């Protein structure tokens, strides 16, 4: 028996989805940190020296995933390029273009953020945050720092969408959804 009151712990997994079946297209390996912050605003309708009502709106959500590993496949996917390789172990070689002009303004992609969780009864669950359309920024690097190494930041804006991560039409536009499952 479980219920719908969920407590999340930390990010265990993040992946870019294919946008057609909801399958993972690329794993953001070694996630260390992440954040999701809504960009919203409000307008107060005033009269008679008081606030009579407030109108709220949502613009987008800023998402940031920090990983301790750099996946050449993720970099290539987000930049619309290819990974080239040659040789064989131990003399193999991998290369991907970094921040070229064609890599900017790639199409938005769905993103999965997975969090181990439990409900208020202590039953183990998984909380998935699925963002339907993330317009990714150019990849950012931090470090290398003593004991922290080099990290890669995969971030962008989760935009309003009329379709979900599988391309199915939504009843109402939304940036994503939360799913709790075993």
Domain residue ranges in the chain: 6-83+91-181
pLDDT in the model for residue 3? 85
pLDDT in the model for residue 144? 84
CATH number for 6-83+91-181 (one of 2.60.40, 3.10.620, 2.30.110, 1.10.3470): it is 2.30.110
Mean pLDDT value across residues 133-141: 95
Structure tokens at 148: 């922290």
Q: Is the pLDDT of residue 169 over 80?
A: yes
* Distance from the Cα of residue 11 to its chain's centroid: 11
Using CA atoms, how far apart are residues 29 and 15, in angstroms rounded to an integer? Answer: 8
Of the candidate ranges 84-98, 104-118, 123-137, 153-167, the one whose mean pLDDT is the lowest: 84-98
18: left (phi over 0), alpha (psi -120 to 50) or beta: alpha
């Amino acid at each position: 028996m479980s219920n719908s009151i969920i407590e999340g712990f930390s990010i265990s997994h993040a992946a870019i989805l294919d946008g057609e079946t909801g399958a993972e297209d690329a794993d953001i390996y070694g996630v260390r940190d992440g954040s999701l912050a809504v960009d919203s605003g409000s307008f107060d309708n005033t009269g008679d020296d008081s606030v009579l009502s407030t109108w709220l709106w949502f613009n987008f959500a800023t998402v940031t995933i920090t990983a301790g590993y750099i996946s050449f496949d993720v970099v290539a996917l987000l930049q619309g390029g290819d990974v080239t390789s040659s040789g064989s172990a131990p003399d193999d070689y991998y290369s991907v273009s970094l921040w070229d002009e064609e890599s900017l303004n790639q199409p938005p992609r769905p993103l999965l953020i997975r969090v181990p969780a439990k409900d208020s009864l202590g039953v183990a669950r998984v909380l998935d945050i699925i963002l339907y359309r993330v317009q990714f920024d150019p990849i950012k690097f931090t470090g290398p720092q003593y004991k922290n190494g080099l990290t890669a930041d995969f971030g962008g804006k989760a935009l309003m969408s009329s379709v979900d991560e599988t391309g199915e039409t939504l009843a109402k536009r939304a940036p994503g959804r939360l799913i709790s499952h075993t």
